[in-house]
């Protein structure tokens, strides 16, 4: 039962291979401060047996929020609330990561200036973004590093850099949203420069023994956009400076995507094999046997269950119980298993 095996990445050992991926909760206010609700939400999944909890996209600057109700990590007063989440999850046996994010042109937070690599809006419902200057790019890179310092102060085990779903880093990576004529646009190497600078800035302040993950969209599903072949090249450029890739897809443009359980697994498998780096698979996965198939066929090293863990925080405990697998249940719940 590979799902329940330990997994070690750098100096961190996870008690199993089940991941709660970052999912926006839209439950704070304009302050970006974590609330008791967030602590309860994440701790419930730790109590439910998840080995690795990744806190939702957390903005490194105010105009990096997807909405006005997103978590923030752009100032020191946001650290205590995040630390409360970390401490609660760790108390119940889960490792904890945080996804550092900048929404770019998909920011809809009230009163904020939207920015992007190039002045192309996401859709008619969004503002035309301001094209970032080189100086502003450097400021955002520094904001990621500052956020990493705060994440370490809060006690997070892992940082995940959000380079997917049409947000700022993804906007730089894709030729559809990046039409710059300077060293941040044009060639694949240039389009990867912003990501490389962010990784480098985070590594300069993040403890060596703690892993750094990268979330990617492996396919834009649009002709002329990113596809798995280009994403393999991008990952190969940065792989020596990160520890794992969390493989998703889409989000750059509003397009119809044919989804089904495991529809993104092929991307995870390809990146794992062609780049020689561990991966997390994600995408409408909900059945235990499907998780086992992915892990045993080496299509990913960890498996993230998003919507399923929203429906059932105790998915891990229940599946171990139903299969007679000997795990340590929470003492308060032992009589139920």
Quick check: 3 pLDDT over 90?
Answer: yes
Collapsed DSSP state (helix, strand, coil) of residue 1? coil
**CB 107, CB 80: distance < 8 Å:** no
Backbone angles phi, psi at 312, to 5 degrees: -140, 95
Q: Hunting for tokens 């780096």 — which residue is that?
A: 277
Question: Could you please report the per-residue DSSP string of 79-123?
Answer: HHHHHHHHHHHHHTT-EEEEEEE--GGG---TTPPPEESSS--SS
Whether residue 326 has pLDDT greater than 90: no
Phi/psi of residue 41, each to 5°?
Answer: -60, -50
Model confidence at 92, in pLDDT bands (50, 70, 90)? very high
pLDDT of residue 159: 98
Angle at 183 between CA 180 and CA 185, to 5 degrees: 30
Residues 123-140: tens digit of each pLDDT: 888 889 999 999 999 999
Provide the percentage of residues in the chain whose pLDDT is more than 90: 95
- Domain range enclosing 200: 2-333
The CA-based angle 198-200-202, given to 5 degrees, is 70
Q: What is the pLDDT of residues 32-48, one digit of tens each?
A: 999 999 999 999 999 99
- With CA atoms as reference, report the closest residue to 147 among 139, 258, 117: 139
Average pLDDT, stretch 266-295? Answer: 98
pTM of the model: 0.97
Q: What is the CATH number of the domain that holds 206?
A: 3.20.20.70
> What does pLDDT average to over the chain?
97
Rounded-to-integer distance, Cα 155 and Cα 267, Å: 31
Structure confidence at residue 150 (pLDDT)? 98
Q: What per-residue confidence (pLDDT) applies to 239?
A: 98
Q: Where are the alpha helices (DSSP H) in the chain?
A: 36-47, 79-91, 134-154, 168-173, 188-191, 193-203, 228-238, 265-275, 288-296, 307-311, 315-322
pLDDT digits (tens, 9 = 90+) for 139-169: 999 999 999 999 999 999 999 999 999 999 9
Cα dihedral sign, 230-10-8-58? negative
Share of the chain above pLDDT 70, in %: 100
Query: In the prediction, which pLDDT does 125 show?
Result: 85
Strand pairing report for 12-14 and 7-9: antiparallel
pLDDT value for 162:
98
Residue 244 has pLDDT above 90, yes or no: yes
Helices (H), 206-337: 228-238, 265-275, 288-296, 307-311, 315-322
pLDDT number for residue 123: 86
Mean of the pLDDT values across residues 207-232?
97
* Contact criterion met (CB below 8 Å) for 151 and 73: yes
* Residue 149, burial from CB neighbour count under 10 angstroms (0-12, 13-18, 19+): middle
3-state secondary structure (DSSP) of residue 335: helix
> Which of left, alpha, beta for 189 (phi over 0: left; psi -120 to 50: alpha)?
alpha
How many distinct structural domains can be found in the chain?
Answer: 1
- What's the sign of the alpha-carbon dihedral 254, 72, 231, 268? negative
Q: Does position 96 have pLDDT exceeding 90, yes or no? A: yes
Among the listed residues 101, 117, 97, 119, the one whose alpha carbon sits nearest the alpha carbon of residue 109: 101
């Amino acid at each position: 039962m590979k799902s329940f095996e330990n997994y070690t990445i750098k100096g961190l050992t996870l008690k199993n291979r089940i991941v709660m991926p970052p999912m926006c909760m839209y439950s704070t206010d304009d302050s970006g401060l974590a609330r008791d609700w967030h602590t309860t939400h994440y701790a419930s999944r730790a109590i439910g047996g998840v080995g690795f909890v990744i806190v939702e996209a957390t903005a490194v600057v105010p105009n990096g929020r997807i909405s006005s109700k997103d978590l923030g990590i752009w100032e020191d007063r946001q650290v205590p609330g995040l630390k409360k989440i970390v401490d609660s999850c760790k108390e119940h046996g889960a490792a904890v990561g945080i996804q550092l994010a900048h929404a770019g042109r998909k920011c809809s937070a009230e009163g904020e200036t939207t920015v992007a690599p190039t002045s192309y809006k996401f859709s008619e419902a969004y503002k035309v973004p301001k094209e970032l200057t080189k100086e502003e790019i450097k400021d955002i890179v520094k904001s990621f590093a500052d956020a990493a310092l705060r994440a370490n102060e809060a006690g997070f085990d892992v940082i995940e850099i959000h380079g997917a779903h049409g947000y700022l880093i993804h906007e730089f990576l894709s030729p559809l949203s990046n039409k710059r004529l300077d060293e941040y646009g044009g060639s694949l190497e240039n389009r990867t420069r912003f990501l490389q600078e962010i990784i480098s800035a985070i590594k300069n302040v993040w403890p060596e023994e703690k892993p750094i993950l990268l979330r990617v969209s492996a396919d834009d599903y649009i002709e002329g956009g990113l596809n798995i072949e280009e994403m393999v090249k991008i990952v190969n450029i940065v792989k020596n400076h990160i520890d794992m890739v969390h493989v998703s897809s889409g989000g750059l443009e509003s397009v119809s995507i044919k989804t089904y359980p495991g529809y993104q697994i092929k991307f995870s498998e390809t990146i794992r094999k062609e780049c020689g780096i561990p991966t997390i698979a994600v995408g409408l996965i909900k059945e235990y046997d499907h998780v086992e198939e992915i892990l045993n066929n080496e299509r990913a090293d960890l498996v993230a269950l998003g919507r399923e863990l929203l429906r059932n925080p105790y998915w891990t405990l229940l599946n171990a119980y139903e299969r007679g697998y000997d795990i340590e249940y929470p003492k308060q719940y032992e009589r139920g298993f």
